[in-house]
């Protein structure tokens, strides 16, 4: 059994989620303690609970301590199985945080699988669903992933109620992701939406984002307004994408009560501008979220990022506790180069049974 100190490094919910998905993929039991010890409200929150239960369902795991506010769990995985699953987060817990945990396990199960997930699609402190769909997934598609996400309904804080359906087919091992050279910018697109709010808000958000990107050739942001039949609650978000020949960079912002639309749009625009000017091949959030897929690839991967977050550093440490993979992180001028080298041999062949 792997013993994982949940207070290590960044010490948040991502360490817990990644621990259980790695246990499910490898078949190794895990004991995670000091869960979210560095947070003001330590222990399992509802969205972390749903993520753990989702992965447990995919592999018929035996668990101990899986309850709200628990600071310690034991997770003993069984075999991964396909089929249809329903994962309600409850309230506005993040759909994408559940997806972060469940998707790699679903890809490894060796059978077709469908997941229905309900909760918050666009909430603070989590990637908006559109970032997951239009930035992260295309990167994983390029590695050979076969997954499709259908958005049925958006949901916001505090009610949640958003609904997505995810279809996944077996696809491991993945191809390596090689993004080791900065490329020129091909174009900038974006998408801003609001739900059950005055239409002028989405225009103000988009215009502020475009103002921050006005020095680049013809950026374009599409607009969409959803009503009560298409979304639960009031909310919105903006996603911006910089397109390159072999990669894309993303930046996003989620609407918050009391925060002006102009500020949200400008923040997303500034972040994307920084990513473009840095010469990075992955933005700082994609650099964090793509690591587990690099560890499940059939060869060495590489990318450049302008910053390695504490989330990413913690994830690298954790991946090396479970999988035969080694990461090398080096400073290269004003960028950080990350190499991931899976060590395929008799020890790793069980991953693709």
Taking the domain 187-278, which CATH number applies? 3.30.360.20
Structure tokens at 323: 């999988």
DSSP state of 308: -
Protein fold of 2-179+283-352: UDP-n-acetylglucosamine1-carboxyvinyl-transferase; Chain (3.65.10)
pLDDT in tens, 185-199: 999 999 999 999 999
Residue 352 in this model has a pLDDT that exceeds 50:
no
Q: Domain limits of the chain?
A: 2-179+283-352, 187-278
Among 292, 281, 290, residue whose Cα is nearest residue 245: 281
Please state, in angstroms and as integers, the Cα–Cα distance from residue 41 to each residue in 16, 101, 219, 249, 299, following that order. Answer: 15, 21, 41, 32, 40
311 carries an active-site annotation: yes
Pairwise CA distance, residues 195 & 291, whole Å: 33
pLDDT in tens, 25-83: 999 999 999 999 888 889 998 878 889 999 999 999 999 999 999 999 999 999 999 99
pTM of the model: 0.94
Annotated binding site: 100, 285-289
pLDDT value at residue 343: 86
Which residues sit in the known binding site for ATP? 100, 285-289
Give 239's DSSP letter: E
- Which one is catalytic: 200, 203, 311, 339? 311
């Amino acid at each position: 059994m792997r013993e994982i100190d949940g207070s290590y490094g960044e010490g948040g919910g991502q360490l817990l989620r990644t621990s259980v998905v790695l246990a499910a993929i490898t078949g190794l039991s895990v004991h995670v303690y000091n869960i979210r010890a560095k947070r003001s409200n330590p222990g399992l929150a509802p969205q972390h609970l749903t993520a753990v239960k989702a992965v447990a369902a995919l592999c018929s795991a035996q668990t101990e301590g899986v309850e709200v506010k628990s600071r310690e769990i034991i997770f003993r995985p069984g075999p991964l199985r396909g089929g249809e699953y329903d994962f309600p987060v409850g309230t506005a817990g993040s759909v994408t945080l559940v997806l972060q945990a469940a998707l790699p396990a679903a890809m490894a199960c060796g059978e077709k699988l469908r997941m229905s997930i309900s909760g918050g699609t666009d909430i603070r402190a989590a990637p908006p669903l559109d970032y997951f769909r239009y930035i992260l997934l295309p990167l994983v598609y390029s590695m050979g992933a076969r997954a499709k996400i259908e958005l049925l309904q958006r949901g916001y804080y505090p009610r949640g109620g958003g609904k997505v359906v995810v279809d996944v087919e077996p696809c491991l091992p993945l191809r390596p992701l090689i993004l080791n050279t900065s490329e020129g910018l091909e174009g900038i697109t974006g998408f801003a939406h609001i739900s059950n709010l005055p239409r002028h808000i989405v225009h103000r958000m988009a215009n502020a984002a475009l103002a921050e990107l006005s020095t680049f050739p013809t950026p374009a942001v599409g607009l969409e307004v959803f009503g009560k039949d298409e979304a639960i609650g009031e909310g919105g978000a903006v996603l911006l994408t910089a397109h390159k020949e072999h990669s894309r960079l993303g930046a996003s912002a989620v609407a918050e009560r009391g925060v002006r639309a102009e500020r949200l749009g400008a923040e997303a625009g500034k972040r994307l501008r920084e990513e473009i000017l840095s010469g990075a091949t992955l933005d700082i959030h994609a650099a964090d979220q793509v690591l587990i897929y690099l560890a499940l690839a059939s060869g060495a991967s590489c990318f450049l990022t302008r910053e390695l977050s504490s989330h990413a550093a913690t994830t690298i440490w954790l991946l090396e506790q479970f999988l035969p993979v080694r990461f090398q992180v080096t400073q290269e001028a004003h960028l950080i180069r990350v190499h991931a080298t899976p060590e395929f041999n008799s020890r790793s062949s069980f991953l693709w049974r």
